[in-house]
Structure 1
Amino acid sequence: MMSNGGKVEVKRVFIGAGCNRIVNNVSWGASGLVSFGAHNAVAIFSPKSAQILTTLPEHKAVVNCTHWLPTSKFLFKAKQLEQHYLLSGDAAGVIILWELSLTNGKWRQVLQLPQLHEKGVTCISGIMVSQTEAMFASTSSDGSVCVWELVFPLTGGGDCKLSILHSFSVGSKSMVALSLAELPGDSGQIVLAMGGLDNKIHLYCGGRTGKFVHSCELKGHTDWIRSLDFSLPISINEKVNNIFLVSSSQDKGIRIWKMAPCSSVSNGHAISSKREISLSSYIEGPVLVAGSSSFQISLESLLIGHEDWVYSVMWQPPLPASRERHANYQPLSILSASMDKTMMIWQPEKNSGVWMNVVTVGELSHCALGFYGGHWSPDGDSILAHGYGGSFHLWKNVGNDNWLPQKVPSGHFASVTDIAWARTGDYIMSVSHDQTARIYAPWKVKASLEDGEFWHEIARPQVHGHDINCMAIIHSKGNHRFVGGADEKVARVFEAPLSFLKTLNNATLRKSCSSDDVIGDVQILGANMSALGLSQKPIYVQAVHEASERSGVDGFETLETIPDAVPTVFTEPPIEDQLAWHTLWPESHKLYGHGNELFALCCDHKGELLASSCKAQSAVVAEVWLWQVGSWKAVGRLQSHSLTVTQMEFSHDDNFLLTVSRDRQFSIFSITKTGTGEISYRLIVRQEGHKRIIWSCSWNPHGHEFATGSRDKTVKIWMMERESSIRQLMTLPQFTSSVTALSWIGFHRQKNNGLLAVGMENGQIELWNLSYKRADDGSIAAPGLATSLAVRIDPFICHASTVNHLAWKKNEDDHTSMQLASCGADNCVRVFDVTVQ
């Protein structure tokens, strides 16, 4: 077992996170990985395993956009590369370059670009001009556009060379969409298309090293330009290389522009390109002059089909050269994503050449609330959308244009405020300011796949109309229950429905019905969402025999009618639409009493008492209420603090309740239960513990010692000596940031050893060894408590902003392998394997 200073190893098990609700936030690289912003972290996920692999922490502001070099468009140029690169831009104008080594999967931050943008970066778009050279452009809401060149190192570990080619301002109407392309021919000219708030597409031309000059404007859209994408050159009649530009707008339309090389530029053309051009003259359109070559631009097609803003358009990535084709082949296929909750694939009809919508997906997404972007996989057989609710939606072409939904990572899209393990340890539950409660579980697979289990979101028990601040899982026997507290004065009690219990059995591959055999007693199959997103009404087993025979999708009749939920037993992890609609838990009770928004909840270890606190500016409002589990009667109002009680925890024997507060005090109440079930309580200690707000506390699972963590960057360990006296055992060395979360776990064989997990405001998590000796009376004997830093968790698997809560899984059997769950303001839920050697 572990002695003081024993070796502790930490591995990532699971990361759950939702996508920022921003348009240019997602990028699918030639590496096969997808990047997206999750608050101020850059998250990387693998579509093959539907798992988030890592998060990249350095941004101090919300991540607005990510862009791979090379993207899926340049897969054919990425074959020889050992490193792939990723650009990420944030709301403060900072752009960071990251390097991924394909050989070992390791990430490193290469450099932070010189900050030329004064406001948030809104779009980054790049192209590969050779195997080792890339050019990219960035734009910001301050109206500036920058064009950069990046030269990759020839060998791994070498340095990248970055140079700024041109920086210019486009005025007060900033650009929100960019696309770069190499013009056909041997001129080496680059064209940059940009569009934004003035409804026009602006084309700039420049050499590989020189400045970019405004060449012409394309008019026609009647609202903001939202997305632009150049094709690779397309051969017509195997002679002329044309290049196509597709644009989409908030006017619900998509336009395809053709750029064909001119043999020579006549004076007439030169004059017409300078003149104001109306839509009627677009048959010829303006001429783009780039160095010694020129290109005639014309409107190829206008695609009408979406019913709302079209946020993104993208050409299908080129297919690699084959025996039939010597060159890479650019398919004539465009993917569009819209706020009307659909993605469409457009292709020209073989005979007439008229562009048609050939595939539509997503039309049944009642809860997606629109798509913010769509992306092709590098091989063109999968399409990915990200939605208003931070969710991903992935479809794969399984043959003959049959596009089927696939599993994707999921998670909260706002700060995750609380997290807890199930009583059985089978799953974790988290709640968030995105107004949802979510359940994640390892889905065990019978076949011997790699690792044998992957974590997935398996239920969304509460979808609410208020931000949820706290939750507590009830630890008593019987059915799974939890209590949620939100920005309202009511705590709500939820009970697991039959559909969830059966789904959980499938996830854990249990042979029996359930550990407590509760399935036979549960008469509620699921729950319906309320009109205002407040009370979730039960759906009873008897009433749904017909509905349960249908599949969930059959219940959807039209887009306008909101159907009843169809509670479903899942045999594989559910996808977004199923989670949002068919996995709700029914609400069984409301707990009234608090005067303000709820802030903290906790349940005792026997599952008999619940404690709750709310936001408070006075002693009367700062009362902690005690509720009896089952009858849900208020059985106590504990007065001690004058400001919000930030966290509470019952001691391991349930005899004491520890509370910490914004008023810098901690309090201990003794809780006595009489044989008749009555509760008596009294305040035995109130003491100022720190110089700033106390954010967190945690009891030693095997004694009456406890830890408190504060904004003053310290963690203090205290001990109850007698009924009413407290002794401070020690203060840990000062931390680099405010301490916002604590969780203490003890070891069963060596009860005098433990690990204290410490979470901080900067996202860092540290594990500290605690070892001590007890005297005969149970007190800690001299020389007292010995502490040492066991491990500082790698920042690439830690949080990128404040750690809000930490929770150890109670592990009665294995004494060397433990699991730690955490949640944070970076929208992430994380699970770590902690091994003690």
Structure 2
Amino acid sequence: MSSCEVESVFIGAGCNRIVNNVSWGASNLVSFGAQNAVAIFCPKSAQILTTLPGHKASVNCTHWLPSTKFAFKAKHFERHFLLSGDAEGAIILWELTLTGRKWRLVSQIPPHKKGVTCITAYMISDIVAVFASTSSDGKVNVWEVVLPSLEGGECKFSCLDSLHVGSKSMVTLSLAQFPGNTGHLVLAMGGLDNKIHLYCGTKTGNFIHSCELKGHTDWIRSLDFSLPVCTNGEANTLLLVSSSQDKGIRIWKMVLHNSSIKQEGTTLASYIKGPIFVAGSFSYQISLESLLIGHEDWVYSVEWQPPFSIEGNTCYQSESILSASMDKTMMIWQPERTTGIWTNVVTVGELSHCALGFYGGHWSPNGDSILAHGYGGSFHLWRNVGVDFDNWQPQKVPSGHFAAVSDISWGGDYMLSVSHDQTTRIFAPWLKDPILGEGNAWHEIARPQVHGHDINCTTIIRGKGNHRFVCGAEEKVARVFEAPLSFLKTLNHATLEGTGNFEDTQVDMQILGANMSALGLSQKPIYIQTSHETPNRNGSEVLDTLETIPDAVPVVLTEPPIEEQLAWHTLWPETHKLYGHGNELFSLCCDHEGKLVASSCKAQSVAVAEIWLWQVGSWKPVGRLQSHSLTVTQMEFSYDDNFLLAVSRDRHFSIFSFKQTGTDVTSHQLLTRQEAHKRIVWACSWNPFGHEFCTGSRDKTVKIWAIENESSVKLLMTLPPFKSSVTALSWVGLDRQRNSGLLAVGMENGHIELWSISVQRNEDGVASAPNVTRIIQFDPLICHVSSVNRLAWRNSEKREDCGSIELASCGADHCVRVFSINVL
């Protein structure tokens, strides 16, 4: 094997739970922060296209140049730009070339001293933009950026102004150009002092505080200027919409005022009209146009519907506002044609167990779709599919974890992941629909567990027809889950397997789905015979207890599900609890015959660090293996199930040998315990074709070992040092005769490498130093941006006759990834 090609097949990630994080650009792509990465997804395909590495802290906000507000100008643009700010104050400008979808980090802007909370921009021309950023350091910086005219060109920045806003920092901004070709800009900002502050300046800077708009009674959360509104053929009006934690939305009107008319004293009329402020030689009258009441919780986001062009570069500003609130709803507001009174014309929302709602809402460039992002790191997309009347229908969106993904496991055609966001998720390729011709793309198809603790580890029970998994969380008990009938039927639709014989093989299955408990711990089964019965909610037999929560409705999915279906109706019932460990669970593994499960927990003593063995089926503890003095970080059975390898924080590895002594009775003993590395050993993996194994450590090394005569272990070789701590390993076999395979190495910096390994043995079967070659380093654009927590090859023991193999990875950057490796 000389080389291989790597293709990113799938990225699953959730959105950082923060306001201003999402931006929908004129490119019709959506950007959002996923931990330290800027993720890009395509609403049309419902797939995350890439993640951009560069930030060293969590990404707080993103903003496209041009944004949807200027989409009517950008139809011919070949290149689009994106601004992103993070929690340490850094701001990065990215360039996207639509041809080939090539990304480039253009420049890093001088940072704020603290986290960036909002970025807004105004396109002066096709290549000149003014943007403002605000931070919790109490400053608002205004920049002019001259975008490169050629692909790969340099970008020019100039700081127009730096405004000190005091201890009560601003959290939202909006920029606009005054109507009437005055050449003046207006910057609106709002934050913790409940007021909207207006600053006026020119394209060269000198922003001066002009006036304050009072009315809101709580923090200002969102501001958005319209483009100039035409009245009587002249564009002399500007509208500003604001939202607040007081649950209200206000629309403010700015009209070019006749400067020759002297301002009279403070009368009732002038009070209603509001203040007059001066920008250059022009003055503007501000008045409160409308107050919109309808949301029942904080309104985090308001946005004008993007204008559309009429002729050339002239545009018409639609009088339509989208608002998103923590009450789990988004609303569209429009004025009535006859009275001009603003009313709520569309309401869409999320129905789930989650107590919190939406952090933001966004229009598509053409205004036919609206997107929200919520507390659960999830996206919610609705599209107006009506012809003669509005008909907003939910659409497919990408999904994923919104905290570090701690472990993954393959279950044949699907991949299971667990995370510190307290959920377990299943991802699978939804094969091509013969009628629609769409699909063959990966989607989240089930969320078997929504828990009350961060989940650390999982393993799928091996064996055909078995769809069971064990998971361990920040609690002392491991939990066993079994697939309900609704999932098996959904999997049948997704993979198109078992068609025809499926119903016959599932006659004994009586569990249709599962209900969540009130405290989010044990999930109780829903049986087929009771799922059709309507409970008597008003009867005297029904007790009002904590367990009285809305019933789940298990569904068989015939197409990739949306968030509402995943969050509530795809749960698996919990069948067993495994008690025994003294601390929270840390690692799990299952043997290849599906008979034994090994578990370990966090430990600082020999007694607590023991490995427990559980018999699959009866789930009785059948062994307690003592060897290590600190936490066992990973375990793996050899492919013939004769040995169990364990690595630990105590820098040692242990090998336990297993022998079958009778029916379902296995004896085990400690074969050896050796110091392997100078630092914590994070990862291990077996050679699928023998008793060689590798270990990876924080000391940036990977070592390859071999068991000799089933009695001792010798070091075969140490790979050249890596640039970062080795946190994940996975070995896949390619050619049994040559005893060759691929070793995937994941590191703390997020990078992944593939090494070719061919183990040589003499006539006695004794292994010698293997031939190793580094085949490829993955492109950083398809890698993780922080620590790789686990790597796993799909069907790693059955890949001798196939040129293309799939590798899954998960990391601290909230991402789950699947790569297709084509061996050349």
Q: TM-score normalised to the size of structure 1?
A: 0.94
The aligned runs of 1:198-217 (5 Å cut-off) are: 198-217=193-212
Deviation for aligned residue 1:562: 4.2
Q: Which residue of 2 aligns with 1:705?
A: 692
- 1:375-428 superposed Cα distances (whole Å, 9 cap, x missing partner): 000000000000000000000000121100000000000000000110xx2100
TM-fit CA distance, 1:261: 0.2
User: Following superposition of structure 1 onto structure 2, how do residues 304-383 of structure 1 map, counting pairs within 5 Å?
Assistant: 304-322=293-311, 327-362=314-349, 364-367=351-354, 369-383=356-370
After TM superposition, the structure 1 = structure 2 runs for residues 301-700 of structure 1, keeping only pairs within 5 Å, are 301-322=290-311, 327-362=314-349, 364-367=351-354, 369-399=356-386, 400-422=389-411, 425-447=412-434, 452-512=439-499, 518-546=505-533, 562-700=549-687
| Partners of 2:72 and 2:220 in 1: CA distance | 29
CA distance change for structure 1 residues 414 and 54 in 2, over 3 Å: closer, same or farther? same
- Aligned to 2:152, the other structure's residue is in SS state coil
Inter-partner Cα distance in structure 2 for 1:282 and 1:702? 84
Pairwise CA distance, 1:282:
4.5
- Alpha-carbon deviation of 1:165? 1.0
Q: What is the SS of the residue equivalent to 1:283?
A: helix
Q: Distance between the aligned counterparts of 1:182 and 1:72, measured in 2?
A: 16
Distance in structure 1 (CA, Å) of the matches to 2:723 and 2:507? 52
In structure 2, what residue type is equivalent to 1:37? G
Are the aligned partners of 2:352 and 2:568 in contact in 1 as well (CA < 8 Å)? no
Distance 2:657 2:441 in 1: 42
The question of 1:789 aligning with 2:809 is answered no
Contact conserved, 2:515 with 2:571, CA < 8 A, in 1?
A: yes
State the match for 2:3 in structure 1: 7
**Residue 825 of structure 1 pairs with residue 812 of structure 2:** yes
Tell me, yes or no, if the aligned pair for 1:265 and 1:294 is still in contact at 8 Å. Answer: no
SS of 1:692 mapped into structure 2: coil
CA shift, 1:750, in A, is 4.5
Contact 1:77–1:130 (CA under 8 A) maintained in structure 2: no
Aligned counterpart for 2:33 among listed residues 30, 34, 37: 37
Which letter maps to 2:127? T
Where does residue 74 of structure 2 map in the other structure? 78
Q: Does 1:292 align with 2:281?
A: yes
> Would the aligned equivalents of 1:748 and 1:815 in 2 still touch at CA under 8 Å?
no
Aligned residues of 2:402 and 2:814 also touching (Cα < 8 A): yes
Q: CA deviation at 1:667?
A: 0.5
1:723 offset after TM fit, Å? 2.3
Deviations 1:274-294 (A, max 9, x none): xxx9x9965211112111111
1:368 and 1:577 in contact (8 A); partners too: no
| Separation in 1, partners of 2:561, 2:270 | 52
Unaligned runs of 5+ in 2: 536-546
Deviations 1:466-487 (A, max 9, x none): 0000000000333300001000
Compute the displacement of 1:517 (Å). 6.3
Asked if the contact 2:636–2:684 (Cα under 8 Å) also holds between the matched residues in 1, the reply is yes
Contact 1:334/1:346, CA 8 A, preserved across alignment: yes
Does the 8 Å CA contact 2:179/2:235 hold for their aligned counterparts?
no
Amino acid at match of 1:23: V
Kept in 1: contact 2:32–2:38 (CA 8 A):
yes
Whole-Å separation in 1 of the counterparts to 2:823 and 2:715: 28
TM-score in terms of structure 2 length: 0.96
Match of 1:554 in 2: none
Q: 2:53·2:780 contact (CA, 8 Å) conserved in 1?
A: yes
Q: Deviations over 1:674-713 (max 9, x none)?
A: 2222221111110110000000000001111111000011
Further displaced range: 240-249 or 447-456: 447-456
| Overall identity of the aligned pairs, in % | 72
The answer for the alignment partner of 1:805 in structure 2 is 790
Determine the C-alpha separation between the residues in 1 that align with 2:437 and 2:38: 25
The alpha carbon displacement at 1:513 in A equals: 5.6
User: What do you get for the CA RMSD once the two structures are aligned?
Assistant: 1.9
Contact (CA 8 Å) 1:50, 1:407: kept in 2 or not?
yes
User: Is structure 2 residue 256 aligned with structure 1 residue 261?
Assistant: yes
Counterpart selection for 1:225 from 220, 224, 234: 220
Structure 1 Cα separation of the partners of residues 167 and 261 of structure 2: 35
Aligned residues: 809
Q: Which moved more, 1:785-794 or 1:495-504?
A: 785-794
Q: Provide closer, same or farther for how the CA distance between residues 547 and 49 of structure 1 changes in structure 2, counting only shifts above 3 A.
A: farther
Residues 63 and 119 in structure 2, CA contact (< 8 A), matched pair in contact too: yes
Q: 1:627 to 1:232 in 2, by over 3 A?
A: same
The 1:618/1:749 distance shift into structure 2, 3 A limit, reads: closer
The aligned residue for residue 252 of structure 1 is 247
Q: Which range moves more in the overlay, 439-448 or 102-111?
A: 439-448
Whichever residue aligns with residue 162 of structure 1, its letter is: F
* Deviation by residue 1:43-100 (Cα, 9 ceiling, x = unmatched): 0000000000000011111000011000011112213322100111000001111100
- Mark the CA change 1:688 to 1:37 in structure 2 (over 3 Å): closer, same or farther: same
C-alpha separation between the residues in 1 aligned to 2:663 and 2:467? 26
- Which whole-Å CA distance do the structure 2 matches of 1:531 and 1:433 have between them? 20
- How far is 1:645 from its partner? 0.3
Deviates more, 1:502-511 or 1:455-464: 502-511
* Contact persistence 2:352–2:567 (CA under 8 A): no
For residues 606-644 of structure 1, the C-alpha deviation after alignment (integer angstroms, 9 at most, x for no partner) is 000000000001110000000000010000000000000
Mapped contact 1:820–1:832 kept (Cα < 8 A): yes
Letter in 2 for 1:320: S
**Distance change >3 Å, CA 357–CA 166, structure 1 → 2:** same
Residue 179 of structure 1, aligned match among 174, 177, 195: 174
Partner of 2:71, secondary structure, is: helix
Cα distance in 1 between the residues matched to 2:240 and 2:181: 20
Q: Name the CA distance, whole Å, in 2 between partners of 1:18 and 1:169.
A: 34
Aligned equivalent of 1:743: 730
Q: Distance in 2 between matches of 1:20 and 1:304?
A: 28
Deviation string 1:755-808 (CA, Å, 9 cap, x unpaired) is 100001110011111123221222224xx2111111111111110100000000
Moved over 6 A (4+): 448-451, 514-517
Residue 366 of structure 1: how far off its partner (Å): 4.3
